[in-house]
Structures are given as C-alpha cells and as structure tokens.
C-alpha cells in the first residue's frame, strides 16, 4: 500500500442491488429465504450422506464437500447484506471487506475445483467401471479435496495480498459483497500487476477445471454412445445428469456475469447477474441432486424414520397433579 494511503482506516459502502427504500423489505425477505433454504438444504444433504453407509462412496463424499462449500460461500456474503438492510447502513470496514473478499474468492475457487473433481469421478465410473473403486480409493478422494482446497487458499491469499497494495479514493462498492473484480476496478492506483495476476489465475484456476470437465464429459459421451442398449445408455447418463446440470448452471451464470459486465459496463447489472452463481446455484444444488436421485431420497427417508422413532421413544413428562 502506497505512502500516505489511509484506506485501511476507512470504511467502504456496499451499495447492494438497489437503493430504492420500497424494495429493501422485498430484497431482505428474498435473500433471507434463499439463505435459509441454502443452509438447511445443503446441511440436510450432508447429514443424509454422513448418516447412511450406502452413500459412503466417492461421488457422495465429493457431493457433501460441495454442499459444505456452498454453505460457507453464501454465509460469507448474504448475512452481511441482511444486516446492512436491517440496520439501514451500507458500511463495511476495510478489514471486514478484505476478509469477505478473501473467503468469497476461496470458496468460489474451491467450488470450481470440486466440480472438476466430480467430473473426473464420473469419468472413471463410466469409462473405467472395473477399476473405479481401485483408482478412486479413500486416500485419493481425500487428496483431491485437499489439493483443491490448497490451490484455492493460495490463489485467494495471493489475490488478497495484491489488493492490499492498492489505494482507494472512491469507497462505494456497487455490489452486495466485496467482490475481487470490483475491488480492483475501484482502486485509484495502478492496477496493471493486479490485472495480470487476476487474468492469469482466472485462466489457470478457472479455465483449467473447465477444460478438465469438458474433457471428462467428451469421454463420457463417447463411452455412452458405444453402449448398445437404450437402457444401458439411460442408466449411464443418469449417474452424471445431476452433476452436468449443476456444472451448466454454474458456468453459464459465471459466463453471463462477464458477458453482461463487458457488454454494458454496468456494475449494477454485473451485481444482479452474480446472484446466479453466488446465491441461486448453491440454493438449487441440493434439489438438483436429490429430486432425481433415488439413493438420496431413500437416505432422507431412513433418516426421517430414525428421527421419528427416537422422538416417539422419548419418555413423556408427567403432568403435575
């Protein structure tokens, strides 16, 4: 950070999605509902996977990690927005803004890597079914999650350190959270080095997983086409349909944000579009993976029956005479 720059002692203003007072109650209710659905839906999915031994497989291990990341990702951004609306104050301290940016970048990147790891898992399951359990052993599963987490942490740490060197005079952030791109655009100092690092990391850490996903699914489609029976094709495709839906939703929304930002040069439009991958996608993930998944449905039913049995066996309190 340059000499004489006192940004670290200043507060930023999160402008949110709208400044119109009559819309604040609607936005508050909408985001609160989506946040609660996201947390409880993903938490229920984690409990279902962890409590049912039938789901202790690589695919559901990665799915439970994805649900955990989705909970963390939304918890970094939405609660602060709800507090700001409730208190009618858009203020966020410099330290809190950098912290929010760090963790949102971390969990956003981790989400991206996990989707690539899950695509690799489906590739092995469909294209190499006889060697699947040998290759995708618990050690490799844990290693893949650990590597994806480490790369996300390093990238987030690098981006945050690069932002710390910037100076600011305009302290109004046209977003509902401290987004990395907005923090770089808002700076009044030279951002050339930040842009280079940002473009490189986006190309490597986002383009790399996307290339892996596309390669995995090209092999999956090729393998499915070689299956002779229609029932066999349907069964093979159904094992990766949910993941493909989540990948399509996530990357189409991310692509939409960058296209809208480039076409309109409007930060407000970019903020609204970013709701798709930062709020809507984490909320929909549990529904996408459970509605058409018999294993998840059965696990949820068994869990509900266990809870119901335990509840009915709790001794009732005797009434006083």
Region 260-281: what's the mean pLDDT? Answer: 74
**In sequence order, what DSSP letters do the residues of 39-106 get, joined into one string?**
HHHHHHHHHHHHH-GGG-SHHHHHHHHHHHHHHHHHHHHHHHHHHHHHHT--EEEHHHHHHHHHHHHH
- pLDDT on residue 37: 96
Strand ranges (E), the chain: 11-14, 91-93, 172-173
Residue 172 within any structural domain of the chain: yes
H or E element, residue 18: none
- pLDDT on residue 157: 95
Please give the share of the chain, as a percent, with pLDDT higher than 90.
Answer: 48
Residue 217 sits in which domain range? 12-293
CATH code at position 210: 1.20.1070.10
Per-residue pLDDT for 214 more than 80?
yes
Residue 304 within any structural domain of the chain: no
Find the range with the poorest average confidence among 68-72, 119-123, 130-134, 266-270.
266-270
Residue 84 within any structural domain of the chain: yes
pLDDT per residue as tens digits for the range 85-132: 999 888 999 999 999 999 999 999 999 999 999 999 999 999 998 999
What's the structural domain count of the chain? 1
**52: which DSSP letter?**
-
The tokens describing 133, both together, are 């359990």
Residue 309 within any structural domain of the chain: no
Confidence of residue 8 (pLDDT cuts 50, 70, 90): low
Rg (CA), the chain: 22
CA dist 235 and 238 (Å) reads 5
Q: Which residue has the higher pLDDT, 40 or 269?
A: 40
- pLDDT on residue 308: 65
Look-up of token digits 């040069």? 265
Residue 6 within any structural domain of the chain: no
Residue 320 within any structural domain of the chain: no
- pLDDT on residue 147: 96
Q: Which residue has the higher pLDDT, 4 or 275?
A: 275
Q: Which residue has the higher pLDDT, 293 or 69?
A: 69
CB environment 138-165: b (16+ within 10 A), e (fewer):
eeebeebbeebbebbeebbeebbebbee
- pLDDT on residue 69: 96
- pLDDT on residue 262: 64
CA dist 249 and 95 (Å) reads 32
**Which of 299, 235, 276 minimizes the C-alpha distance to 63?**
299
Residue 298 within any structural domain of the chain: no
The answer to whether 92 and 139 are in contact (CB under 8 A) is: no
Region 260-284: what's the mean pLDDT? Answer: 76
The answer to whether 38 and 283 are in contact (CB under 8 A) is: yes
Region 129-148: what's the mean pLDDT? Answer: 94
Instruction: Give me the count of residues in the chain.
Output: 321
Q: Is the pTM of this model over 0.85?
A: yes
């Amino acid at each position: 950070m340059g000499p004489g720059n006192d940004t670290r002692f200043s507060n930023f203003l999160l402008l949110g999605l709208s400044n119109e007072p009559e819309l604040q109650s609607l936005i508050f209710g909408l985001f609160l509902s989506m946040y609660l659905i996201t947390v409880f839906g993903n938490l229920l999915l984690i409990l279902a996977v962890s409590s049912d031994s039938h789901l202790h497989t690589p695919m559901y291990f990665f799915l439970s990690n994805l649900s955990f990341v989705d909970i963390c990702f939304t918890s970094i951004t939405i609660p602060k927005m709800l507090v700001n609306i409730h208190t009618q104050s858009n203020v966020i301290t410099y330290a809190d803004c950098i912290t929010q940016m760090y963790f949102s970048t971390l969990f956003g990147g981790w989400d991206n890597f996990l989707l690539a790891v899950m695509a690799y898992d489906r590739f092995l399951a469909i294209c190499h079914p006889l060697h699947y359990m040998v290759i995708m052993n618990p050690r490799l599963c844990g290693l893949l999650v650990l590597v994806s987490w480490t790369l996300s942490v390093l990238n987030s740490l690098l981006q945050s350190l690069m932002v710390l060197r910037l100076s600011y005079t305009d302290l109004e952030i046209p977003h509902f959270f401290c987004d990395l791109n907005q923090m770089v655009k808002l700076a009044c100092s030279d951002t050339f080095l930040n842009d280079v690092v940002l473009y490189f990391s986006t190309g490597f850490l986002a383009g790399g997983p996307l290339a892996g996903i596309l390669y995995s699914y090209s092999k999956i489609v090729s393998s499915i086409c070689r299956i002779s029976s229609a029932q066999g094709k349907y069964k093979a495709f159904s094992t990766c349909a949910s993941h493909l839906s989540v990948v399509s939703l996530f990357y189409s929304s991310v692509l939409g944000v960058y296209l809208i930002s480039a076409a309109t040069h409007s930060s407000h439009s970019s903020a609204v579009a970013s709701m798709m991958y930062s709020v809507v996608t984490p909320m929909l993930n549990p529904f996408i993976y459970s509605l058409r998944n018999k294993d998840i449905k059965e696990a949820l039913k068994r869990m509900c029956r266990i809870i119901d049995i335990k509840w009915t066996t709790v001794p009732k309190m005797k009434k006083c005479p």
